[in-house]
């Protein structure tokens, strides 16, 4: 639906706000995007780490082939070329003892594409693989309604009721669920987890292909979104916080007001409530789940693959940043991405880097004699909303009680976990909503 000539104000310059602004501009609106911080990108940004002087991301971000709205946004911004994606999923998984498995897609029609690698997945016994296959088949048959009905149950509970034991949950199911939902199956809504399994692993052959940024995350969105919005006659205001919002505009912390015909609030829930209490009368109470990243620079290559998942180790997922970004420094920069890192949040950064270095040396023979030249740690206690059972009923829809004002943000009712894809989809849904209202 067109927004030709309408003035649209968007609060919040994370991916949801950027997607809303780009979508509204594409429909002919004159957009003003307001972001509190000096840069766009929200929870997905890069910065120069002061101790190392290297540009790093606030946390390793990956997207999957099924993240079609995020990919389309980057294409629209002209920055898709700053990302790469595996032609088909390929992840090496191992445990501390060195047992190895591979999850990879074959060029077969979905859902058979995962069959050959799964039938040889070395981290499960043959009996465990058969039981897991039965559970996968049950999930595939659930359909959207069947999945939604599982929101009050934890995925761990559901898996155990379907024949999965602790070892299989840790060594297969959580390899998928922990990084995508940012918690372990026992703490994740079965609706959300079964959605991820279906959408990522089973619906299409390329759905689980892993993509990543080749440059710092900020380069993907900040300059390109500013350019696109300006070209469409709009503007981006950074370094100004929205203090109040209604369907007719935004008040900013410098005392100015931006008048608008419609407003999208793409803020974290507490901020959205503070600036527009009528739009979000109750705290959705979703809770938060942290993510910690530990960057280690070694004087030589220690990790042979671009990505390695490790079960039964605090390391979880390792990324070869040197290979991913083409970083010029000698040696190798690896990033350990720790989801649901509640325990690690309280550990001093230096101790954490030391503990992870120790673990990497235990896991990778090539690291044993390597010299650690630098390290850096990023922590975000509020990285994502908690994907816990009951989340679906707590996540509000884009439409609010305030005429002309819609909500966006990864925490709104997208059906997706807290991901870049969920954020982008929420922004587009919010624009659909205001466009309907403006057309009335």
- Residues interacting with ligand FAD, by CB under 6 A? 11-17, 34-37, 42-44, 58-59, 61-63, 241-242, 266-268, 271, 291, 380, 383-384, 409-410, 418-421, 423
Work out how close the CB of 410 gets to ligand FAD at its nearest, in angstroms, rounded to a whole number. Answer: 4
Q: Which of 375, 319, 389, 380 is nearest to 42 (CA)?
A: 380
Residue closer to ligand FAD by CB (options 264, 311) is 264
Structural tokens at position 416: 């997706």
DSSP assignment of 316-347 equals -EEEEHHHHH---SSSEEEEEEEET-HHHHTS
Nearest CB to ligand FAD, comparing residues 43 and 399: 43
| Shorter beta-carbon distance to ligand FAD: residue 331 or 422 | 422
Nearer to ligand FAD, 85 or 167 (CB): 85
Q: How far apart are CB 17 and ligand FAD at their closest, in Å?
A: 6
CA-to-CA distance for 138 and 154, rounded, in angstroms?
16
* Cis peptide upstream of residue 111 (ω within 30 degrees of 0): yes
Closer CB to ligand FAD, residue 135 or residue 258? Answer: 258
CA distance 439 to 84: 39
Nearer to ligand FAD, 332 or 384 (CB): 384
Helix (H) or strand (E) holding 94: strand 90-94
Residue 169 is classified by DSSP as: I
Report, in Å, the least distance between residue 356 CB and ligand FAD: 16
CA dist 186 → 142, 163, 166, 387 (Å): 20, 15, 10, 10
Choice between 13 and 247, CB closer to ligand FAD: 13
What Cα–Cα distance (Å) separates residue 199 from each residue in 26, 172, 415? 28, 17, 11
Min dist CB 241 to ligand FAD, Å, is 4
- How many whole angstroms separate alpha carbon 342 and alpha carbon 335? 18
Decide: 315 and 359 in contact? Cβ < 8 Å. yes
Nearest CA to 395 out of 379, 414, 373, 367 is that of 414
**Residue 412 token pair:** 């709104």
**236 or 370: CB nearest ligand FAD:** 236
CB atoms within 10 A of CB 291: 25
Compute the distance between CA of residue 276 and CA of residue 282 in angstroms, rounded to an integer.
Answer: 11
Pick between residue 123 and residue 242 the one whose CB is nearest to ligand FAD: 242
Nearest distance in Å: CB 427, ligand FAD: 7
Measured in degrees and rounded to the nearest 5, phi and psi for residue 399 equal -70, 135
Q: Which is nearer to ligand FAD, 139 or 178 (CB)?
A: 178
Q: What end-to-end distance do the CA atoms of the chain give, in Å?
A: 11
We find the least distance from the C-beta atom of residue 440 to ligand FAD, in angstroms, to be 27
Least separation in angstroms between residue 167's CB and ligand FAD is 26
Least Å distance between CB 269 and ligand FAD? 10
Rounded to the nearest whole angstrom, what is the least distance from the CB of residue 377 to ligand FAD in the complex?
A: 11
CA 22/CA 27 separation, integer angstroms = 9
Nearest distance from residue 293's CB to ligand FAD, in Å? 6
The H or E element that residue 160 is part of is helix 155-161
């Amino acid at each position: 639906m067109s927004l030709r000539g309408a003035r649209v104000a968007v609060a919040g310059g994370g991916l949801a706000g950027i997607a809303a602004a780009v979508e509204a501009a594409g429909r002919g609106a004159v957009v003003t995007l307001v972001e509190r911080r000096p840069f766009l990108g929200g929870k997905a940004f890069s910065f120069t780490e002061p101790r190392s002087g290297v540009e790093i991301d606030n946390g390793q971000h990956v997207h999957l082939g099924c993240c079609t709205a995020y990919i389309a946004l980057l294409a629209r911004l002209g920055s898709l070329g700053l990302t790469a994606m595996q032609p088909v999923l390929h992840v090496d998984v191992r445990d501390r003892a060195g047992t190895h498995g591979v999850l990879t897609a074959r060029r077969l029609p979905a859902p058979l594409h995962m069959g050959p690698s799964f039938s040889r997945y070395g981290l499960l016994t043959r009996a465990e693989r058969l039981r897991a296959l039965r559970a996968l088949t049950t999930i595939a048959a659930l359909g959207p309604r069947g999945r939604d009905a599982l929101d009050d149950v934890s995925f761990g509970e559901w898996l155990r009721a379907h024949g999965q034991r602790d070892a299989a949950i840790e060594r297969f199911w959580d390899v998928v669920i922990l990084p995508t939902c940012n918690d372990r199956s026992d703490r994740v809504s079965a609706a959300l987890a079964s959605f991820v399994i279906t959408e990522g692993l089973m619906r299409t052959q390329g759905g689980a292909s892993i993509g990543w940024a080749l440059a710092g995350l900020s380069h993907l969105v900040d300059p390109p979104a500013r350019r696109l919005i300006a070209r469409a006659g709009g503007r981006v205001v950074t370094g100004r916080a929205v203090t109040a919002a209604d369907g007719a505009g935004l008040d900013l912390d410098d005392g100015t007001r931006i008048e608008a015909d419609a407003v999208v609030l793409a803020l974290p829930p507490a901020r959205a409530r503070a600036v527009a209490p009528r739009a979000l009368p109750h705290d959705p109470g979703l809770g938060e789940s942290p993510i910690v990243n530990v960057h280690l620079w070694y004087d030589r290559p220690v990790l042979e693959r671009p990505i390695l998942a490790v079960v039964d180790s605090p390391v979880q997922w390792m990324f070869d940043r040197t290979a991913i970004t083409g970083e010029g420094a000698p040696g190798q920069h690896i990033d350990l991405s720790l989801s649901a890192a509640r325990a690690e949040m309280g550990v001093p950064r230096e101790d954490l880097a030391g503990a992870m270095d120790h673990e990497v040396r235990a896991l990778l023979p090539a690291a044993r004699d390597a010299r650690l030249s630098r390290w850096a740690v990023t922590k975000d206690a509020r990285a994502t909303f908690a994907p816990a059972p009951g989340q679906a009923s707590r996540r509000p829809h884009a439409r609010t009680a305030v005429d002309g004002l819609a909500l966006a943000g990864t925490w709104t009712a997208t059906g997706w976990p807290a991901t870049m894809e969920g954020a982008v989809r929420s922004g587009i849904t919010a624009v659909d909503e205001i466009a309907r209202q403006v057309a009335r």
